[in-house]
Each structure stands twice: as C-alpha cells, then as structure tokens.
Amino acid sequence: MSVHDALLCSTVLLPTAAFAQTAAPEAVVADDTTIVVTAQKIEQRAVDVPITISAVSGERIKDLGVSDLDELSSYIPGLNIQEQSANNPGIVIRGITSDSGSSQQGPRVTLYYNGVDISRSRGSYQAIYDLERVEVIKGPQATLFGTASAVGAISLVSARPRPGLAGELTGGYGNFDQTLVGGYLNAGSDVVAGRIAFEGRTRDGYVENLAASQEEELYAQDQLGVRASLRFTPTDALTIDLVGTYDRQRNGGTPFISGTLPTEAGPADPFGAANLGGSPFSAQALGNSQLGLDRDVYDANFTLAYGFADGWTFTTVNGYREFDSAEVFDADGSAAPYLEFAEIADGWQMSHEARFSYADPSWRASFGWNYFTEKGRQNVPFSTEEGVFIQCLTGAFSGLGVACVNPAGAVTVLNITPALSGGTIAALPYSSVFENQGDNQSYSVFADATWIAAEALELTAGVRLLIEERKSGFISSVPVSVLPQLLPEPNRTGLLRAVPFLNFSLIPGQIDTGGQTFEADRSFSAVLPRFNVLYRLSDQVNVFATVSKGRRSPVVQLSAARSGGFAVPNLQVVPQETVWNYEVGLKGAAGILSGSLGIYYQKYDGFQVSVTQSDGSTRTES
C-alpha cells in the first residue's frame, strides 16, 4: 500500500459563476451579478458554497472560441484535459488523473452530463455546443456526487428550452479546410418548450502522413453532435426535462511518431512528418485498413423536480448512455508493420437518483438514493508480420544486416521472412486479440444537512453509504509463432533459447485462453463522509473549511496465467484507493468578479497506478 501526500495552494479569479447540478430546477438569478446554484442539492449563492468551484458559462465559451473539452484547461485553474483522441480523454484535477480505459477499472473523476454520471472514459467525450455552462468542483465529493468523485467532478449542462421563439445559425471556415456549422432552434410556451441544437465540424489533418496507403492526414476531424430537448412545466411546482443526444466522430489517425526510427523525409522527428501506414493485414486483423476513430454515442436523460410542500422538493434524475467505438492506431510510429493495434470499446450505462430536499431559515438538508449499472468491454486486436516483429523487437537476425527501418526510411525488415524461408514465403501475417469485460452495479443512500447556527455561521455534515458489485471477464486468442518452425536446426533451437517467449506466443506474456472467458466477481462497501464550516466575514466575503473522503473503486482485475502448461484465471483484487482532503479557503465577490483562495492537503492510501505489461496490456497495482 502506498501513501501520497500533497500540500498545494490554488487561486481562482473568474467572472461570477458556480457549480450547479442539473437535477435541480433552473438556477435563480438574484441580480445581474449573482447566480443562485444547487451544488449542495439546495439553492445557494456561489460565494456561500464551502467548496472550491470554477465555472464557465455557455456564452463565455463561445466568446473564448473554445471548441473542445481540452481547451477548457486554459480557463479553469487546477484542471487539465488531455485529449489524445475523442476515444481517450484524460481528465486531470489538481494533478491527479484517471489513466486507464479498461472496462474492469473505475475512474477517479466524475464527469456529469445533465446530472448523470458518464465517467467511463471511452464513452465520456461530449461535444460542447449549446451549453448552459461547464462546471468544475475540486476535491473529493463522493457524498454529493458519487463514488467516482475521488478528486473532483465536472458537469456539462446543456441549454434548456425556454418560452418564446429563438434561433441561431453559426458557420465558419479556417485553415486545413476546417468547417463549422452549428446552431439551435427554440420554441415554446410557459408550459411546453422544445429546443433542437446541433454542431458539425470537419478539418483536414494537420500532421503529414507520408504513407500512400492512408487516405487522410493525421488528426483529421469529422464530427457531428445533435441534441433535442423538451421541457414541460404544467405548474410552478413541477418541471420535467427530457433530453436526447447523439454524438459521432469519424476522425483521422493519431500521430504516434517514433523518436528513433527514420522516415523517407529524414531522421526521426517527433514533430515532423509521419509515415504511419498501418499493416497490409489491418483490414482483416483490425477491422479497417485506415488509421482513425469511428465512434457513436447515444444518450437519453429524464429529470423531474417537484415542490410538493412548503420547503420540500423531490427530484429524480435518470439517464441511459450507450457507446460504440473502434480506433485503429500505429503504435510503433514508423512505416514498419510492427505494432499495429485497434481498440474496440462498447458498452452501456444506466443510472437513477432520487432525493428529497428541505430548506428553512435554520436548516438545509437533502437525502435520497442512487443506483448505477454499467456493462462494457475493451477489445484489443493486434496485427504484425512475424519476421518484422521479431527483428524489430529483439534484433535476433542482425546477422542478416537488416534494420527495422533503414536510414533512408525504407522498411528493409520486410525481407526477413523471404530470406529465412529461402524465398518460398513472402510474409507471415500474425494477429492476436485480448478482451477485458466489466459488469458493475452500485447502490447508495446519502444524507446531507446544514445547521445555520447563526447568521454568519453554517455547519454541514453529510455521508454516503455505498455497496458495489463488480464482475470482470477476460478472454484472449493468441496463436503460437510459426516462423521458428521454418528454421533448420540448430538455428531454431538457438532462436528459441535466445527468445524463449516464442515457444508460447509472439508477444511476450500473452496467453491464449483456449476459447474460454474467465470470470470473477466481488462485492464491496464504503462509508464516505464530509464536514464543512462556513463563516461570513461580510455579505460578499466568506471563509470556509472542509474535510471530505474520496474513494476510487477496488479493481477485480482478471487476466490469464499459465500453470502446468494450461491457461488459468489470473485474479488480482486491487484494494480501493482512498483520499482524505483537508481544505481551508477564502471566497469573495465584487460586482462582475468573484475569487477564491484555497489551501488543501490530501492524503492517499492504496493509490492505484497502471503499469504497462510486456504484452502491451496494462495492469493496475496499489
């Protein structure tokens, strides 16, 4: 078990805004510069929320020209979003990230879309058009936002239908033939209103790919988002929202460029032109001869808020999300058909939350329950040519004077198999595949209460009780290498002695499960509290202190091992990761500006890290 301690200071200076969960009714604007929000499941001014919050409104996003999630990092302190591709966004809050796409592992950062957890990394990317706001809350908030909020939460809130008729159409054109077409149409009354919004973006790739087999340059973009929203407000006490969203990406390949292997344009240059042609066997082994991403995401959300008695509100937030993605990439970063991979990730998730909220001059409180279920898989096919792989990885045939890629950028290693077979075999295509699976459910109840002890003093305590059921699966198909059998003795014995893993598979460490799907499941529980104190120095300046516990789920990590010559399940249950956050801060507002200064100390136990294995897979360790 490892321990990670941090003592850091953060400063924020932004236009007045705040974090609001969309499950609650529309934020109430108190005046021109103050927004009343529901970060703690109850309406409050931003300056009165005793947690560190940053937010950017939809209008501000448009003014700044922000077009993707990763660009938000420049405007929200403590947030960094690394968008390698739409299929693999890495979200970092206060220096801590979730770093795995495995279906068996949970995230650290909760990403919300209209109040629903969409944190599974391969399904989390969301285009940011026609938004009400983007909100970031920092520090563990499992009591309020669920078990994935180990280091913080991000909420994307789409614009809601409003009474009246309004519309907007936006178009743009830029270098690399970039095009943008987007807009919305809103129509309705005080009782029923609807809104349709869309955005389409295309762009040629801006990293040159010298490979003649590829139709597009790298980092080409072709994506579309469409959203339909309906709001029904039959009475002042009842609001019902229904939102359906479709997102699609047909993007070009990611430029993994080798820092050691040259191209025909010259020596290796990670910032120069690439020569990523994939494999001549990619269409059959990986499902596509072209590098790039095909991804579709479908999302439906139903929210109801009902004020059923004086001071009481019942809110339910329900969501369903389904994603299907396939990305082909050239991992060796060269023209050699050496390390060619695809990642096929698909799955679905469903959630339901219900809560009761109460407010009077002395108390604010909320309590309720949450159910979340998800099922997904990460399927990783691999393609290569046997002679190419063995030579580029081990240099076992260096006596033939053949480099993986020669100084002129030519793939001379393709001559290995013909040379070893006496010219009878031109190539030995090789492919393998492994797949990890996850089927997880969580059940929780929560309660949170604030006692207004005096006009200037508020004391808050809350807790979430959680039960998780996590089930993992693993299957792999790993053929034995053919090439050693073509060699005469003693060359064959010498090769297998020098490269012993060739007795079992081409990729070191990969194990064939013989058509079996290994499965394992475990149940876990947790208690996740928080405590807050807020003291008003004046109507616009507050100081606060908070103590909260965050948690990253345990991992039922399942792969394959070899025992007695047979494949057997290799189960490792990685303990939960926990973090205690201790924070004090100062928050203030003056006119159109608000600011906060916070100092926090975080203590991690059982910190989970992903370690890359020799077969290209990753394993979580504590």
Give me the residues of the chain with pLDDT under 50, please: 1-32, 36
Q: What is the pLDDT of residues 147-192, one digit of tens each?
A: 667 788 888 899 999 999 999 999 999 999 999 999 999 999 999 9
State the alpha helices, DSSP H only, in 3-96: 58-64
Look at residue 7 in the predicted model and tell me its pLDDT: 38
Cβ–Cβ < 8 Å for 359, 44: no
Cα distance between residue 224 and residue 126, in whole Å: 11
Return all residues near 401 (Cβ < 8 A) that are at least 6 apart: none
Which tokens hold the place of 2?
């490892």
**From its phi and psi, is residue 94 left (phi > 0), alpha (psi between -120 and 50) or beta?**
left
Look at residue 622 in the predicted model and tell me its pLDDT: 80
Which tokens hold the place of 284?
């059959």
What residues form DSSP beta bridges with 153?
110, 137
- Does a cis peptide bond (omega within 30 degrees of 0) precede residue 15? no
When computed from its CA atoms, the radius of gyration of the chain, rounded to whole angstroms, is: 27
Give kind and range of the element (H or E) at residue 84: none
In this prediction the pTM is: 0.88
Strands (E), 252-387: 292-309, 312-330, 340-359, 363-385
Q: What is the pLDDT of residues 520-549, one digit of tens each?
A: 999 999 999 999 999 999 988 999 999 999
Q: What residue type is 73 in one-letter code? A: S
Distances (CA, A) of 147 to 5, 50, 438, 441, 467: 21, 20, 17, 12, 10
Q: Which domains does the chain have, with CATH numbers?
A: 3-621 (2.40.170.20)
Look at residue 170 in the predicted model and tell me its pLDDT: 93
- Residue 613 CA to chain centroid, in angstroms? 21
Give kind and range of the element (H or E) at residue 282: helix 282-285
Look at residue 42 in the predicted model and tell me its pLDDT: 66
Look at residue 122 in the predicted model and tell me its pLDDT: 72
CB atoms within 10 A of CB 432: 21
- What are phi and psi for residue 285, nearest 5 degrees? -80, -35
CB atoms within 10 A of CB 559: 23
Cα distance between residue 484 and residue 569, in whole Å: 28
DSSP label of 398: G
Cβ–Cβ < 8 Å for 209, 218: yes
Closest CA to 591 of 12, 13, 11: 13
- What are phi and psi for residue 513, nearest 5 degrees? -90, 5
Which tokens hold the place of 145?
């936002």
Look at residue 57 in the predicted model and tell me its pLDDT: 81
Cα distance between residue 274 and residue 188, in whole Å: 52
Distances (CA, A) of 177 to 198, 202, 212, 253, 406: 20, 8, 21, 17, 35
Return all residues near 439 (Cβ < 8 A) that are at least 6 apart: 374, 375, 470, 471, 472, 473
Which tokens hold the place of 564?
């007695």
| Cβ-based burial of 486 (10 A; exposed 0-12, middle 13-18, buried ≥19) | middle
Look at residue 13 in the predicted model and tell me its pLDDT: 37
**From its phi and psi, is residue 524 left (phi > 0), alpha (psi between -120 and 50) or beta?**
beta
Return all residues near 242 (Cβ < 8 A) that are at least 6 apart: 229, 230, 231, 232, 300, 301, 302, 303
